[in-house]
Amino acid sequence: MLFTDRVDAGRRLAGAVEHLREERPVVLGLPRGGVPVAYEVARALGAPLDVVVVRKLGVPHHPELGFGAIGEGGIRVMSDDIVRLSGVRQEELTAVEHAEEQQLLRRARRYREGRPRVTVDGRTVIVVDDGVATGATAAAACQVVRAQGAAHVVLAVPVAPTDVVHRLRGAVEDVVCLSRPDLFSAVGEWYRDFSQTTDEEVITRLTEAAAARSAPATAEVEVEVDADGVRLAGDLALPAAATAVVMFAHGSGSSRHSPRNRSVAAAMRDAGLGTLLFDLLTPAEEADRANVFAIDTLARRLSGATRWLRERESLPIGYFGASTGAAAALQAAADEDASIGAVVSRGGRPDLAAPRLGDVRAPTLLIAGGHDTLVLDLNRAAQAELRCENRLEIVPGATHLFEEPGALDQVADLARAWFIRHLTAGGGPPVN
């Protein structure tokens, strides 16, 4: 089988994975050449598209011999046998890993241009390349995706040698390959046009796919939220067939316009979750610094806004709280009739809800920066008071605002996975 170009290959490959449409898959392309193929697959399935950036770790002085691979989110896939047999010192292996990690982060940031990584946690994932020769990179990519939490991994390629396809079947749930020639020397011989894919083309395809996913159906609508008798400005966004809604409770010095909050909210919408960003205080109230620590007032307003939202939408609801907003979220979730499906705290002050922490029933994820030592200690103390399912995640090297490269992406990934697990597929509480 001869393909005209990568677009042609992608369109043909899309037909071969059509049966996965109902699983609402995520499509990941291996850069560079796999991305234009993956773009056609994602467009045909109406699926989110992203890159899977993987770096092979080569043994020093023998870089062609890989002792492992790394992926985003701190994922490491290692071959202990090769490490042992290579006889290379641990500090040398660590230096290789550090250098490759820097390259990985640079490429990922360049390709996405500030967009958060599409979550794969609990999802069916189709990993796409423009072809496979040895299968080493594809196998590493699938291992990384599985380690990132994917529930079902399918490798889809236009062409690969028969023996490589058989070998790869042991690494993933399924391999979809359109052409399996016995005589194979290079991927490019099976394309009429196999010109090099540039970084610019990868960025363009990812940008176009992201724009398509942010269609009018997911556009934010300005709303006036009735929060305990006070009318507050908000932005409501509901993707088509939204499975749940995440309400954002902002903290001190923040608002619904915060780039950090909006970045995390975009990650929620990429996973099919609706978002409601609104301000818990009026502009006049924000002028008095003491009001941002009035947790009782903030919690009452959040509860009132929750009732307002439930009158509009019959969907499971989760809370995402930052700083003092996290305390408000936990206190509101502690109400007996709250029926909140999950709570996530980013750099939060859960200690300010201390009297009610034992009453929280919603599964709670606390996220703190590794260098935000005071807040980290407060989160550890608060976690000891929780009686619900809970977890504390520490983002290494991050400070209070998670401004370090990649730190906020990790927050978004953790939060998104938590909400997907507890709010979707029957994971949330019944809707009243």
In order of 22, 113, 115, 116, 172, the CA distances from 198 in angstroms are 32, 15, 19, 21, 28
Instruction: Kindly report the average pLDDT of the chain as a whole number.
Output: 88
pLDDT of residue 374: 96
Most confidently predicted of 130-134, 242-246, 325-329? 325-329
DSSP secondary structure, 36-73, as one string: HHHHHHHHHHT--EEE--EEEEEETTEEEEEEEEEEGG
d(CA 399, CA 401) in angstroms, rounded, equals 6
Convert the pLDDT of each residue in 236-285 to its tens digit.
Answer: 999 877 889 999 998 665 678 788 888 899 888 877 899 999 988 887 88
pLDDT of residue 214: 62
Convert the pLDDT of each residue in 195-230 to its tens digit.
Answer: 999 999 999 999 988 877 665 445 678 899 998 888
Task: Report whether pLDDT(59) > 50.
Answer: yes
The burial of 403, by beta-carbon neighbours within 10 Å (0-12 exposed, 13-18 middle, 19 or more buried), is given as exposed
Considering the entire predicted model, what is its pTM? 0.54
Cα 184 → chain centroid: 37
Average pLDDT of 390-410?
Answer: 90
For residue 7, give the nearest of 47, 43, 31 by alpha carbon: 43
